[in-house]
Amino acid sequence: MIYPEEGRQVCPRCMKKHAIFIRLLSLAGKYKLSLFFIVLFMLLNSATGLVIPYFQGTVLFDQALAGTGTFAGKIGLVILVIIAFRTLSLLFGVMFGIMIAKLAANVAFDLKSSVFTAMQRLSLDFFMRKQTGHLMTRVNNDAHELQYFFVDGMSYFIVNAMNIIGIAAVLLWMDWRLTLICLIPMPLVFWLVRKAFPKLWRLSWRRHRRVSALNSIISDTIRGSRVVKAFGKEQMEIGRFQRANDAFSGAEQNFNKMSGTVFPVLNLLTQTGGILIWAFGGWKVMQGQMSFGAVLTFVNYMYMLYGPIQFMNNIVGWWSYCMAAAQRIFEIQDAVPDVAERPDAVRLPDMKGDIEVNNVTFGYEPNKAILKNVSLRAKPGQMIGVVGHSGAGKSTLVNLISRLYDVTEGEIRIDGVNVKDISMASLRSHIGIVSQDVYVFSGTIAENIAYANPDCTTEDIIHAAKIANAHDFIEKLPDGYDTLVGSGGYNLSGGEKQRLSIARAVLHNPKVLILDEATASLDTETELQIQEALDSLVKGRTTIAIAHRLSTLRNADYLVVMDRGKVVEAGTHDELMERKGAYHDLVRKHDEALKMKEGVIA
């Protein structure tokens, strides 16, 4: 069997379904009152429904029409009683329907909130390792799967079990020999279900997988449409889509063929029971051993029995399905964040911004060190520039300072306190990051600027935007600060997004600022504006700045040169230039690249 999903700790075959089931039941405790009433109304609905065949058969034919017994000749009354019971049954049905609808929405709401909350607790590493699609499925689909379990599954299980017992008792009481006859096709039904249903489940899974594959191709080509068009690969994508579409269509056909065979055969077997009853019962009616009404009653009851039996048969496969969904949800709830806050973490109401990185070694994966013995010091208010080739570990270093990951060896101290001992809330409130991939949330420009501080005033937002040199372009947007951006909203350019993120940082007002290649790939005009905004932003803050463009670091107090995870040089621009080492090399290559670019433009 193929392991279904990378990153899952327990394979679906090995999980202890019973333990999960018990844990799920403990969650159901919260809803027990609603579940109690749902089951009560369901039982009342079936009980009132159960009376109807008796009145439609025995009472109508053998008493009212035959002119004997309590209801002799009273057809009108019998019809009224039937209508009354039908109405009652309907009312109870409507009541439990409404309650189920309410409970289902509440359960789904609670489950989704709990998964989402549990996810937010986890560290960045968790999100980097998982595909967005899979995580979205977990929040949405798995919660729905469990909602069915709680709401439909549990209540219908109880009611159907009661129905089976009740109807079987009535049948046996009416005529045990006829009951045995109507059970003749049963072993065949069971055999067919045992054989065919696992196969149906497999086919349905395959269909599910194929449709997921199809969806990823669609989402890939839509999101990557720029690349597809640029390389003129439309035909190739059409081909790829057609193959996946073909595979899906095949899986769909197989599933439909199988279910199209199994269900009619099951129906036929069910009807065989009825035919046998008609044959045997009819013969008894002719012998005068049984009334016509009794046979009719019997057949009606028998048909009522098959629904619940089929439900019970399906429940096994469906149960495993729900347990798998529960397992996935519990895995997230039980996951321990890699970067966790200590119970005795200290709060730092004020931070001076004194950063010490002492002999830090770190790797994203065990035994694969990305940073080796890195040390540096940034005194309050200083600006440190970190330079080096791409992949040298610059971003990794700042990820560690803002504690998105924990160091493997060594330590990072801020104001003399190890970052592992500082509460997450104080750490985050004092550290601001302006990075090259700016995420814009769906919402207005104002909301995006105020992300760190939603309670601030409009004046604060405008003030921050002005410092970030963003006010002018925002004013020109169709709705100014109320323009909707993010998915489905107005598309901001790279430079505009960066100024938005600088405004965010200005409003956040952190003591420690991290600038991660904030001016990559921009035109000169925009770059100047951004540089100006950054110059005002860094004032009075300890800043660690990473930049490819060495000119951006002209204000740095000193520079740290990194290469393959190590600090190879450190000093001021002038000192490093004099030394003619790695930094000198970088500057030379940088200047050459600039000249070439100018040459191309000219």
Binding site for ligand ADP (CB under 6 A): 128, 364, 370, 388, 390-396
What are the Cα distances from residue 50, in Å, to 82, 161, 285, 418?
11, 14, 23, 72
Work out the angle at residue 595's Cα, subtended by the Cα atoms of residues 589 and 600, and round it to the nearest 5 degrees.
125
- Helix/strand/coil for 317: helix
Please report, to the nearest 10 degrees, the dihedral formed by the alpha carbons of residues 483, 486, 488, 489 taken in order: 20
Pairing of strands 542-546, 383-388: parallel
The least CB distance from residue 393 to ligand ADP, in Å, is 4
b/e per residue 195-219 (b: at least 16 CB within 10 A): ebbeebbebbebbeebeeebeebee
Closer to ligand ADP at the Cβ: 127 or 190? 127
**Quick one: 196 or 404, whose CB is closer to ligand ADP?**
404
Cβ 6 to ligand ADP shortest distance, Å: 14
CB of 265 to ligand ADP, least distance (A): 54
CB of residue 528 to ligand ADP, shortest distance in Å: 24
Q: Which is nearer to ligand ADP, 28 or 135 (CB)?
A: 135
Asked if 371 and 396 count as a contact pair (C-beta separation under 8 A), the reply is yes
Q: How far is the CB of 436 from ligand ADP (least distance, A)?
A: 10
Can you tell me whether residue 545 is helix, strand or coil? strand
- Comparing CB distances to ligand ADP, the nearer of 243 and 564 is 564
Both structure tokens of 590: 């940088």
Report the nearest approach of ligand ADP to the CB of residue 576 (Å): 18
Cα(32)–Cα(38) distance, integer angstroms? 10
- Residues β-bridged to residue 383: 543
CB of 401 to ligand ADP, least distance (A): 12
Cβ proximity to ligand ADP, 228 vs 404, nearer residue: 404
Q: Which is nearer to ligand ADP, 293 or 388 (CB)?
A: 388
In angstroms, the CA 25 to CA 316 distance is 17
Considering beta carbons, is residue 393 or 432 the nearer one to ligand ADP? 393
| Sign of torsion over alpha carbons 295, 301, 304, 310 | negative
The nearer residue to ligand ADP, 130 or 394, going by C-beta atoms, is 394
Are the CB atoms for 101 and 137 separated by under 8 Å? no
Q: How far is the CB of 397 from ligand ADP (least distance, A)?
A: 7
Phi, psi torsion values for 307, nearest 5 degrees: -55, -60
Closest CA to 174 of 260, 281, 77, 246: 281
Task: Give the separation between CA 437 and CA 315, rounded to whole angstroms.
Answer: 48
Least distance in angstroms from the C-beta of 227 to ligand ADP: 21
Nearer to ligand ADP, 274 or 393 (CB): 393
Smaller CB separation from ligand ADP, 322 or 392: 392
CB of 459 to ligand ADP, least distance (A): 37
Task: Give me the DSSP letters along 351-371.
Answer: ----EEEEEEEE-SBTTB-SE
